[in-house]
Amino acid sequence: MTPAVLAQALREGKLTLEVIDDKVRRILRLAVRFGWLDREQLDLGWPLFSDEGRKLALEGARGSMVLLKNDQGFLPLDDKKLRKVAVLGPNAFPALPAGGGSAQTRPFRAVSFLEGVTTRLSGKATVLYRRGIPSFEEIFAKTKWQTDVQQGAAPGLRATYFPNLSWEGTPVATRVDERLDFNWLKHPDSPANTAKDFSARWTGFYVPEKTGDYLVVAASYGLDRYTLWLDGKVVVDRAQERQPLAVRTLHLVAGRPVAVKLDYRHHDHHARIALGVRPAADLVDPEAVKLAASSDVALVFAGFDPFTESEGYDRTFALPLGQEALIAAVRAANPRTAVLLTSGGGVDLRSFVDKVPAVLETWYAGQESGTALAEILFGDVNPSGKLPVSFERRLEDGATARTYYPQKDHDVRYDEGVFLGYRHFDKSATKPLYAFGHGLSYTTFKYEHLTVLPGTMEGEGPVTASFEITNAGTRRGAEVAQVYVAPPAGKVPRPVKELKGFAKVTLDPGETQRVSVTLDRRALSYFDVGHHAWTALPGTYKVWVGPSSQSLPLRHDLVLR
């Protein structure tokens, strides 16, 4: 039953709110939120904006952010010692509550990191902002193309559109496109409105004003494909690219025209095609660097956004164009620089992680992300988030790096089996940059006195793993304790250990609490494909407890009979 049919049944009295289950309610709520149904069409008595919802969003954002690094207690910042704070980077503003595609939600109001920091420091310090690097849209918009090489040629690229995918027959349109950046849903005069599948060809020239390195940036997403030639050589073939963004660095000579040809096939109405050129030396805004140098502390907000990270394609492991250069320039200007990341997973941090005192992962933290981030930065809230994934040091360190999307046949082979994430790193000599379960706090926690009772599991169990956690620091804080089980050796390849339970406790300074986690026979089992059943082998298992998958100070035996 579709949301529209449900709504009609409600209006006609064939259904009542009392008989609709929670799943259907959620479907209808999404239908209203995404505009599939008008709010006036469907009155379910649900407030689309409520203070209770805002508070819940704030609580979630506070608990999810993960402090990856904090050398010498750089964070939290003392607002009494700050006069000027530089807020820099593309993710500082506007707010990024969620990633792209199906992940996207549109809250009534989202608090950006810039707004969160500015509000928190109101009346205490001056907050100054610069984006620091150009947006992709700016690169596409400011690129100056020429239709011909001679001086005075018309600006733009010659565009020819065909009603097929092979650039054949009579074109449906021939024109000059001054800029090459088309989101087909937003261009009502595009050939996409007259033909679902079409092809286009753009030709022209780019004439560099200075000699030096230039960045050629091409973008597309969806099912569309393109090939870019520069001076007759293939520079980008979208069919061979994992990511929607392709960046190439070329050395160009001032005044020497570069011939441009881009052949494009359109399949998907959600698609976009864009092309731009930018001098590499003009990537980082010098005003942002000056602002950092003159500030007491610099906060660089880096990472991804709905364009660079979506469910429809693979994003890069490296930060998007220009962000590493911005972090390097800001750090050189002001060593008191913290990096705040927005992403849905691991990021290549090698270029800066050892050179800045603090790194914090915010994820896509929803509508109250700016408020929560400011609270954590200035110590109003003690961070307690833990990594739900392992952060590789290098992309090739991951479990699937050698088998995913090979260039030759594009067939994905699932050779890793169950050895993903921390299970992969446990059996590998290579270790992650930040382990599954890692997350720092402004206080410290001590683990002691693990017991497993009874020490022998009979039948289905259960047994109880019990241990003490003490807040050994000076701040109230929350800790997520993790319980792993390591199986005895057997004929079936099994992970070194697996997470089987966890518990979150909040403790005042000096407070100790005993924590218990229950383990049953299923916690010791693996799925036996031969017998199509969960199986636990008799023997001695190890119960390990600690703050992350790579830090497990407590260990105890458990015998299964």
Contact in structure between 341 and 359 (CB atoms under 8 Å): yes
Helix and strand element counts for the chain (H, E): 9, 27
Between CA 275 and CA 203 the distance in angstroms is 12
In this prediction, residue 407 carries a pLDDT of 59
DSSP state of 549: T
How many residues does the structure list for the chain?
561
Hey, what CATH topology would domain 56-133+283-383 get? Rossmann fold (3.40.50)
Stronger pLDDT, 23 or 82, i.e. the higher one: 82
DSSP state of 194: T
In this structure, what token pair is assigned to residue 57?
């969003």
In this prediction, residue 48 carries a pLDDT of 63
**Do 56-133+283-383 and 445-560 have matching folds?**
no
In this structure, what token pair is assigned to residue 523?
């916690």
Characterise 46 by phi-psi region: left (phi > 0), alpha (psi -120 to 50), beta (else).
Answer: beta
In the predicted structure, residue 43 carries a pLDDT above the cut 90 = no
Question: What is the residue whose two structure tokens read 């989202």?
Answer: 110
- Residues in CB range of 403: below 8 A, 6 or more apart: 412, 413, 414, 415, 416
Mean pLDDT, the chain, rounded, equals 91
Once rounded to an integer, what is the mean pLDDT over residues 113-127? Answer: 98
In this prediction, residue 195 carries a pLDDT of 65
Between CA 285 and CA 333 the distance in angstroms is 13
Q: How far is CA 531 from CA 100, 206, 292, 417, 460, in A?
A: 42, 65, 63, 18, 18
This prediction has a pTM of 0.89
In this prediction, residue 545 carries a pLDDT of 98
Contact in structure between 192 and 198 (CB atoms under 8 Å): yes
E strands, 4-135, are 66-70, 84-88, 126-130
Question: How confident is the model over 400-447, as pLDDT tens digits?
Answer: 988 886 656 667 888 899 999 999 999 999 999 999 999 999 999 999
CA 88 to chain centre: 19
Lowest mean pLDDT segment, chosen from 32-46, 171-185, 538-552? 32-46
In the predicted structure, residue 523 carries a pLDDT above the cut 70 = yes
- Residues in CB range of 546: below 8 A, 6 or more apart: 447, 481, 482, 552, 553, 554
In this prediction, residue 461 carries a pLDDT of 87
Question: How confident is the model over 464-520, as pLDDT tens digits?
Answer: 999 999 999 999 999 999 999 999 998 899 999 999 999 999 999 999 999 999 999
In the predicted structure, residue 42 carries a pLDDT above the cut 70 = no
Phi (first) and psi of residue 309, to 5 degrees: -140, 110
Lowest mean pLDDT segment, chosen from 366-375, 405-414, 540-549? 405-414
CATH number 2.60.40.10 is the correct assignment for the domain at 445-560: yes
Which residue ranges make up each domain of the chain? 3-47, 56-133+283-383, 140-281, 445-560
Between CA 136 and CA 322 the distance in angstroms is 10
Stronger pLDDT, 74 or 243, i.e. the higher one: 74
140-281: CATH, from 2.60.120.260, 3.30.70.270, 3.40.50.300, 3.30.300.30: 2.60.120.260
